[in-house]
Amino acid sequence: MPEYQVLIAGAGPTGLVMANILGSFGIATLLVEANASTVSEPRAVSIDDESLRTMQYLGLIDKVRAQIVPGYGSYYHSAAGACFARVLPDIMDYGFPRRSAFRQPLLEAQLREGLGRFPCVHTRFRTRVTHLRDAGDSVSIDLRSDEGVLETVRARYVAACDGARSGIREALKIPMGGSTYEQRWLIVDLAGSTDRFRHTRVYCDPARPALALPGPHGTRRYEFMLQPGESPEDLLVESRVRSLMARHSAEDAGLEITRKVVYQFHARIAARWRAGNIFLAGDAAHLTPPFAGQGMNSGVRDAHNLAWKLALALRGELGEGVLDTYESERKPHAWSLIQMAVTMGRVMMPVSAIYAFATQWGLRALSLYPPARDYVMQMKYKPKPRFDDGLIVHGVGAQLCGRMFPQPMVETEDSRLVPLDEMLGGGFSMVELEEPGVVPQALGAARLPVRRVRVIGRDERFVADAAVLAGAVRVRDASGALERALRASGVRAVVLRPDRYVAAGIALAAGPQEADRALEAIVRLSERKPAVAGPPAAAELVVTPWQAGRS
């Protein structure tokens, strides 16, 4: 029976990101996809800064960047057409714009192509996962190809990235919790747009809430809410679609329609994200209304969080307890983004003219107060990438621990200006201030390999006689942002995880052994036994197909 370390069910964005990361760690991985190829129809259109940072981690950012429209905002309009709020974020804390327009089919194709770099990753398209048996120390999985070829493989772990209608989640009998929120929206994709306006327009009209979103390569999307009692068939009639668009733009009403479809949106989250050796990720674990453009982005965060933990546990560098921190870190954050989307939906879809009047004038009034205007304009309402409970050593540097570390530009010793992550490598890293007379932190007692990056101040230059440590890279803090972030949190150094979250801080006044102690603490945390272990599924799981794949 073919043996893999990880089997991934589903080659949507979540499964593809996970396969790329596992491949980069040399993990024997099988990616199984029911469809013949990656998705061809447009779906997600907005990619956030955290996902782009993950694309950078995958070594694909140059290709991805060439196909996106970076940094766009949203203009909110009343029923009368007046703009009452603008969201135009220009901060780039993590090295990328907070929102960029992209095309899911292109991104998926790039991610699939990226797998070609890793001989340890095998793919099977036109093949479905049909049965799973979790024996406790591994899972055996039955596959069936479209040609009817049956095969059984074994994997230590399974990642169910099989989308909103996850057959694996259903077979595990894991219920979806959350609100009963349900919305139907007509989605219309257009080609050949010459509209020069680069931001989203949101039409908060109680009679017909709608959005118009620009995309790369002259594409454009409209989304219209269906009112209760309206039938999708009526709205999908071409003349009706064109008249809906004509309310907002005569040009758009005449463009080529590449796709029109009615979607039902939900706001739900799986009660558990792990059962024994099987993990849920992406839409299989959570469903987000698209108003915040976060469904895929949350899936990319899941994939990044889970993949390195699987890899380091399989390589024996961390204990298997690290796998239980996946759900404790990701679930609260995913839920907070679902709630953000629901709140944004309330502004976009006012239930009455009075409600619209109140919220729109409320937002106008807020914009007179600069901190409030900044809060809206810079998208500060978006939940921060942070967690309280997981693989972090609490105590020192509380302001940074459990948070995603910023990504400023740094200067290398050979005078190149590069984003910080380019220097960090793919595993754990330690970013530390280098100061004359301060003994460098010792590293090496813990079993966890760590790349160390020594930072000299913005006003300093590299000097030949500085304490050069074997294996360490040195960078200049070109903007001063690194030193500010570290000192504001009272730390000399931080230990970063492969997903660029801060795992531990080393105090400014710490002795030279402190980093080693922090690394040992991280390893100990990963060896913790979970309070309630996710039980392996006792019986054979039958994965029921849902209309040949895609959700």
DSSP state of 523: H
Our finding on whether 282 is near ligand FAD (CB under 6 A) is yes
Near ligand FAD in 251-270, by CB under 6 A: 263
Our finding on whether 340 is near ligand FAD (CB under 6 A) is no
Candidates 45, 109, 491, 515; binder of ligand FAD (CB under 6 A) is 45
Q: Compute the distance between CA of residue 290 and CA of residue 164 in angstroms, rounded to an integer.
A: 13
Q: Compute the distance between CA of residue 382 and CA of residue 157 in angstroms, rounded to an integer.
A: 32
Query: Min. distance of Cβ 28 from ligand FAD in angstroms?
Result: 18
Candidates 6, 11, 22, 363; binder of ligand FAD (CB under 6 A) is 11
Q: How many residues bind ligand FAD (CB under 6 A)?
A: 38
Stretch binding ligand FAD (CB under 6 A), from 155-163, 454-462, 471-479, 498-506: 155-163
Candidates 20, 200, 277, 294; binder of ligand FAD (CB under 6 A) is 294
Our finding on whether 276 is near ligand FAD (CB under 6 A) is no
Q: How many CA atoms lie within 13 A of 319 on its CB side?
A: 17
Our finding on whether 10 is near ligand FAD (CB under 6 A) is yes
- Residue 342 or 522: the one with the smaller Cβ distance to ligand FAD is 342
Query: Min. distance of Cβ 270 from ligand FAD in angstroms?
Result: 12
Look-up: residue for tokens 């043996």? 3
CB 319 within 8 A of CB 523: yes
Candidates 20, 24, 29, 46; binder of ligand FAD (CB under 6 A) is 46
DSSP β-ladder status, 473-476 and 491-496: unpaired
Query: Min. distance of Cβ 172 from ligand FAD in angstroms?
Result: 13
Our finding on whether 200 is near ligand FAD (CB under 6 A) is no
Our finding on whether 110 is near ligand FAD (CB under 6 A) is no
Our finding on whether 170 is near ligand FAD (CB under 6 A) is no
Our finding on whether 18 is near ligand FAD (CB under 6 A) is no
Our finding on whether 32 is near ligand FAD (CB under 6 A) is yes
Our finding on whether 295 is near ligand FAD (CB under 6 A) is yes
Q: Compute the distance between CA of residue 523 and CA of residue 538 in angstroms, rounded to an integer.
A: 30
Our finding on whether 33 is near ligand FAD (CB under 6 A) is yes
Our finding on whether 345 is near ligand FAD (CB under 6 A) is no
Our finding on whether 289 is near ligand FAD (CB under 6 A) is no
Smallest Cα–Cα separation from 476: which of 384, 413, 401, 545? 413
Our finding on whether 551 is near ligand FAD (CB under 6 A) is yes
CB 277 within 8 A of CB 5: no
Our finding on whether 43 is near ligand FAD (CB under 6 A) is yes
Query: Min. distance of Cβ 112 from ligand FAD in angstroms?
Result: 11
Cβ contacts of residue 189 below 8 Å, gap of 6+? 42, 219, 220, 221, 257, 258, 259, 260
Our finding on whether 107 is near ligand FAD (CB under 6 A) is no
- Reduce the secondary structure of 85-108 to three states and give it as a string: EEECCCCCCCCCCCEEECCHHHHH
Number of helical (H) and strand (E) elements in the chain, helices listed first: 14, 26
Cβ contacts of residue 308 below 8 Å, gap of 6+? 21, 25, 427, 497, 498, 499
Cβ contacts of residue 547 below 8 Å, gap of 6+? none
Candidates 49, 142, 283, 499; binder of ligand FAD (CB under 6 A) is 283
- Residue 7 or 503: the one with the smaller Cβ distance to ligand FAD is 7
- Residue 287 or 522: the one with the smaller Cβ distance to ligand FAD is 287
Q: What is the chain's percent helix, strand, coil content, to nearest 5?
A: 30, 30, 40
The encoded tokens of residue 313 equal: 């546990």
Candidates 12, 215, 419, 427; binder of ligand FAD (CB under 6 A) is 12
Query: Min. distance of Cβ 510 from ligand FAD in angstroms?
Result: 40
The encoded tokens of residue 458 equal: 């913005």
Kindly write down the DSSP assignment for every residue of 293-334, as one continuous string.
S-HHHHHHHHHHHHHHHHHHHHTTSS-GGGGGHHHHHHHHHH
Candidates 27, 31, 161, 174; binder of ligand FAD (CB under 6 A) is 161
CB 97 within 8 A of CB 224: no
Strand partners, 221: 189, 213
Our finding on whether 7 is near ligand FAD (CB under 6 A) is no
Candidates 71, 97, 209, 290; binder of ligand FAD (CB under 6 A) is 290
Our finding on whether 183 is near ligand FAD (CB under 6 A) is no
Look-up: residue for tokens 């390569």? 217
Query: Min. distance of Cβ 132 from ligand FAD in angstroms?
Result: 10
Our finding on whether 299 is near ligand FAD (CB under 6 A) is yes
Amino acid identity of residue 346, one-letter, is R
The length of the chain, given as a count of residues? 551
Smallest Cα–Cα separation from 84: which of 76, 74, 92? 76
- Residue 139 or 393: the one with the smaller Cβ distance to ligand FAD is 139
- Residue 412 or 551: the one with the smaller Cβ distance to ligand FAD is 551
DSSP state of 282: G
Q: Compute the distance between CA of residue 32 and CA of residue 27 in angstroms, rounded to an integer.
A: 15
User: Binding residues for ligand FAD, per CB under 6 A?
Assistant: 9-15, 32-35, 43-46, 104, 128-129, 161-164, 167, 187, 263, 282-283, 290, 293-297, 299, 543, 549-551
